[in-house]
Structures are given as structure tokens and as C-alpha cells.
């Protein structure tokens, strides 16, 4: 699955939030991320850190989170999987060395 969402959580003000990001490296991941985000109701200019390893959308509110959960290309993951993915993406962008186990290794076990 190319698009992942971390577990939704409540902010201190009571709003529900989550992050939507691609597990593909480089530009193809960004293109898919924006396409899915538009389908679930995000504005394409709302992308954060575009073109970097931290590229993502903030999903705010229950309606948008439910839409993401219902989308066939979106898979919900825990924070550990997000952290592994971000490390792998950092390495891809040449910002640090790859770490083990990789995000791909974790998902191969499923």
C-alpha cells in the first residue's frame, strides 16, 4: 500500500488529528499522496514539507479521518512504522545512513 496514516489522536483542544503520508520514496510517492489527499477532501496546497522526506498532510477532524480510513489505498499504521519509514526516507534523500530493520522488512512479515 502506498499511502499510510498514523493512528488518530485527540489534540488538547479536543480535535481529532492524524497524518497522511506515502510509503514510496521520492517524487512518485508525493504524486500519489497528493492524489489520495484530494480524493479525501484535502486541498493540494495543504501538503506540508513538500518534496522532503517529511512530506505529509495533516488530517484534521473526524470526517476527513473517516474518509481516509475508508479509502482503499490508505492503511493505518502505528508510530513505530512511521518512524521506520521516515528513517528510510531520510536515507533515500541522503540525510542519514539506512537503519535496520527497514520499513520494508517490517511489512514483509505481514
Sign of the torsion formed by the C-alpha atoms of 96, 56, 24 and 85: positive
In this structure, the dihedral spanned by the alpha carbons of residues 52, 77, 16 and 48, taken in order and rounded to 10 degrees, is: 10
Per-residue pLDDT at 43: 95
Assess contact for 103 and 23: CB atoms under 8 A: yes
Q: Where are the domains of the chain?
A: 3-108
CB atoms within 10 A of CB 90: 17
> What is the average pLDDT across 38-44?
94
Give percent of the chain above pLDDT 90: 75
pLDDT band at 98 (very low <50, low <70, confident <90, very high): very low
Residue 35 DSSP label? H
pTM value is 0.81
What is the mean pLDDT of the segment spanning 50-68? Answer: 93
Amino acid at each position: 500500500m502506498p499511502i499510510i496514516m498514523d493512528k488518530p489522536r485527540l489534540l488538547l483542544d479536543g480535535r481529532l488529528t492524524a497524518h497522511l503520508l506515502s510509503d514510496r520514496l521520492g517524487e512518485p510517492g508525493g504524486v500519489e499522496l497528493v492524489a489520495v489527499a484530494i480524493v479525501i477532501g484535502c486541498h493540494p496546497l495543504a501538503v506540508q514539507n513538500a518534496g522532503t522526506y517529511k512530506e505529509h498532510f495533516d488530517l484534521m477532524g473526524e470526517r476527513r479521518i473517516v474518509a481516509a480510513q475508508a479509502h482503499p489505498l490508505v492503511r493505518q499504521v502505528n508510530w513505530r512504522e512511521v518512524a521506520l519509514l521516515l528513517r528510510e526516507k531520510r536515507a533515500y534523500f541522503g540525510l542519514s545512513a539506512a537503519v535496520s530493520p527497514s520499513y520494508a522488512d517490517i511489512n514483509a512479515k505481514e
